[in-house]
């Protein structure tokens, strides 16, 4: 092998080492969030609360770089479903897991707002929390 060939080979090896594969780098940048099962209150059906939990979890993973895990050390989400004669509310609360401090709270009338809209609001707040020095 010539000196030029060995330099090209060395540069190629350095480039491979410095540039992570897309799968690895994408996985490395993902942040974790734990989604706790939503609490059913009032006349709310616990099974419906579980369905809303699953749907929101799937929407978060589908529409963001966040990965939903059983126990996150960065963020966790709590939800409460309240159903009575007048209201059909889902309250979402986002917490900083390290400080156990609430970062965000939002109420939704789940008969008027889609899971996708709720997920978009939550994802926006998660990205804002990662950009700030709150965690």
The two most distant CA atoms of the chain are separated, in Å, by 83
The pTM assigned to this predicted structure is: 0.70
Residue 122's Cβ-count burial label (10 Å; 0-12, 13-18, 19+) is buried
pLDDT mean for each 10 residues of the chain (135 residues): 57 49 45 91 92 91 88 88 86 90 89 86 85 56
Residue 135: the pLDDT is: 41
So what CATH class is 30-131?
alpha beta
Instruction: Tell me 19's DSSP state.
Output: S
């Amino acid at each position: 092998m010539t000196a030029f060939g060995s330099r090209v080979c060395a540069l190629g090896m350095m480039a491979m080492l410095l540039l992570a594969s897309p799968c690895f780098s994408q996985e490395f940048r993902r942040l974790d969030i734990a989604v706790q099962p939503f609490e059913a209150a009032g006349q709310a059906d616990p099974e419906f609360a579980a369905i809303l939990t699953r749907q929101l979890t799937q929407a978060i993973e589908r529409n963001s770089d966040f990965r939903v895990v059983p126990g996150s050390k960065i963020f966790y989400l709590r939800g409460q479903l309240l159903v009575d004669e007048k209201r059909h509310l889902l309250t979402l609360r986002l917490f900083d897991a390290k400080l156990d401090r609430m970062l965000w709270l939002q109420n939704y009338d789940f008969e008027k707002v889609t899971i996708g809209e709720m997920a978009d609001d939550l994802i926006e707040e998660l990205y804002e929390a990662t950009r700030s020095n709150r965690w």
